[in-house]
Structure 1
Amino acid sequence: MPINNFPLRLAEGITAKLDFDYACNRGHSFGEYHVHGVVNEILCANIDPATRNVRTGFAHPAIQTEGNGGRKREIDFLLEGREPVDNEICIEVKWAGSSHCKPENVLLDLCRLQIIKAARPETECVFILSGPEMAHTDLFNARIFLAGTNCLLHRRSEALTQGTGPRVKSFLLASNPDHSDEIEVIMPKLVKRLPTIPRSVHTTLIHSTRSAPQCGRFQTLVWTIGAGAGES
């Protein structure tokens, strides 16, 4: 079961904190590291430190590649239990509008989380995309996000519709009829940075009407990663 419903708390809390910090003239410091601080605040405020621990820049064993003599591959956050039986939460964060928030890097983060989910199905894996409204629009205009049954993630507009039901999507990396050209370009980068390539990425968009206002300066979208049948 999700711990304290963290994905929804993150979806609502990050945008609210960005709006508050902007009103306090802190917008000049906004970026991925700023969001990391907000995520850390929300996580730490919702756990018992006697039983759980927040770790940043965690080199998860499931995403390490053989023969990689450089820096170990890391995920942004790990919420771990102090007892082995406790479920973990793994989180990756992207700031929309940054030079690092490119479609191939979004897909890389999703693949890392999918690999972790396959290795440890009890782990809750979460991907966060936060940033200015316009930057979200620009990112989702990339071809890999464009409409089609097999596009990567739900488009931003789907988070603005009424209702809070789950929006589930499976993005095929093998035999994707809508995005084979884009995947062919991105695939060499994934091969270099992943121990294996999942056949598909399974996401559920976490949505509440409060986390996706009809208009606003900032937007935060949160997805959880589901275990796909037969994934390696």
Structure 2
Amino acid sequence: MAMSDARRISEAVGSWLHLEFACYRGGLFSEAALKAAVGSVLSSFPIEVHGARAHAEVRHDALGTKRRLDYALCLRKDNEIVQSVQVAVESKWAGSSYCKTENIAQDFMRLMLVKRANPSAKCVFLLAGSATNLASVLSLPPFTTNAKSNVGLRASQTQTRITFDRSRPTHIAAFTKAIQDWHPKVAIPAGFLAKSYGLHPQQTVVRTVRFQAIAWEVISVATTNLDNASSW
């Protein structure tokens, strides 16, 4: 069975972190350090458009002129704004000052807007870091979840549909700032469907794995827009 792009990225990055740590280079880890690993795996994907390459800090028309994707596999000349990408990746390093709920929500908002503009694109959110810091981040919105549906993004290998709902405290905590930031400049999708591909490497019984990665793919976005965005 073919491996999904999101799973390939998360397992490649998680394996790279384990290798680097085993080579005593864990002290160099940061979000910036992910560029080498993400760039390497993106560069290995079969391209759909001749000349497409892995790029960092990509400006996409769906995001306007100021906001950028962390990484994308696309055809781009110099620093031009692109209309289409094959793969889009937003990343966060667990434990960094930027790995906060509101910034993670911004990443998902970017991926939603790119997915709506390019339905065939693979849009991936990557979270990596120490196992301890990852556990802490996954205990907070937008990942907080329980048995109820439409609460948070699950870390298990399942699909989760998020429909923005102000009656849910988890949604208010996770998405309010992102929705306010984008509205009314763009029409915001009413929600999205995402799938996680689990933590990699998997933790051992005696907890010898120090660094891990996990990814979610934004599989689809709602065809309707958030009709009460101004009230968030």
**TM-score category by the smaller chain?**
0.7 to 0.9
Q: Give yes or no for contact 1:63–1:194 (8 Å, CA) kept in 2.
A: no
- The one-character-per-residue Cα deviations of 1:50-108 (angstroms, maximum 9, x if unpaired) are 643111100111011xxxxxx710001110258x9x96111111111110000111111
Segments of 5+ residues of structure 1 without an aligned counterpart are: 65-70, 159-165
Change (3 A) 1:170 1:188: closer
* Equivalent residue letter for 1:220: A
- Aligned with 1:226 (options 210, 215, 219): 219
Assess if the C-alpha contact under 8 Å between 2:159 and 2:193 holds in 1: yes
Structure 2 gap segments, 5+ residues each = 77-81, 226-232
Task: Report whether the alignment pairs 1:78 with 2:69.
Answer: no
Shift in Å, 1:37 = 1.4
Specify the SS of the correspondent of 2:212: strand
How far the C-alpha of 1:132 sits from its partner, in A, is 0.4
Q: C-alpha distance in 1, partners of 2:179/2:51?
A: 41
Q: CA deviation at 1:117?
A: 0.7
Q: Structure 2 matches for 1:172-211, cutoff 5 A?
A: 172-183=163-174, 185-187=176-178, 190-191=181-182, 195-207=186-198, 211=201
The answer on whether the counterparts of 2:142 and 2:153 sit within 8 Å (CA) in structure 1 is no
Q: What is residue 135 of structure 1 aligned with on the other side?
A: 133
Q: How many residues align?
A: 212
Asked whether the 8 Å contact 1:173–1:183 carries over to 2, the reply is no
Q: Which amino acid in 2 is paired with 1:62?
A: A
* Structure with larger RCO (C-alpha < 8 A, sep 6+): 1
1:98 to 1:41, Cα distance in 2 relative to 1, 3 A: same
Aligned in 2, Cα 1:211/1:50: closer, same or farther, shift over 3 Å? farther
> Percent of aligned pairs with the same residue?
24
Q: Are residues 196 and 51 of structure 1, via their aligned partners in 2, closer, same or farther at CA, if it must alter by over 3 Å?
A: same
Deviations 1:176-217 (A, max 9, x none): 535254257535653379733321132111248x64334411
Deviation at 1:229, TM superposition (A): 4.0
Residues 144 and 78 of structure 1, relative CA distance in 2, 3 Å threshold: closer
Name the CA distance, whole Å, in 2 between partners of 1:34 and 1:52.
23
Secondary structure of the equivalent of 2:24? Answer: coil
Aligned partners of 1:184, 1:45: CA distance in 2, in Å?
33
- Give the whole-Å Cα distance in 2 for the aligned partners of 1:72 and 1:33: 20
